[in-house]
Amino acid sequence: MDATTVIAVISCAIVLAGWLVLPSKMTTVKPVVVSEERKPVSVSA
């Protein structure tokens, strides 16, 4: 195995290990209020 392959394997291992330890919790966000009524918009050419 050459040096390039060793570094490539280590790189992949770092990324994979990251996924195991990183959080997977929901973040609460403010609900976006969307008005049912929309005003017509006139666009002049």
Question: Given the rule CB under 8 A, which residues bind another protein?
Answer: 2-5, 7-8, 11-12, 14-15, 18-19, 22-23, 27, 41, 43
Residue 16 CB, nearest approach to another protein (Å): 9
In this structure, which amino acid lies at residue 18? G
Q: How far is the CB of 39 from another protein (least distance, A)?
A: 10
Report d(CA 29, CA 41) in Å as an integer: 30
Phi, psi of 36 (to 5 degrees): -70, -35
Q: Token digits for 7? A: 């570094």
Q: How near is the Cβ of 43 to another protein at its closest, in Å?
A: 5
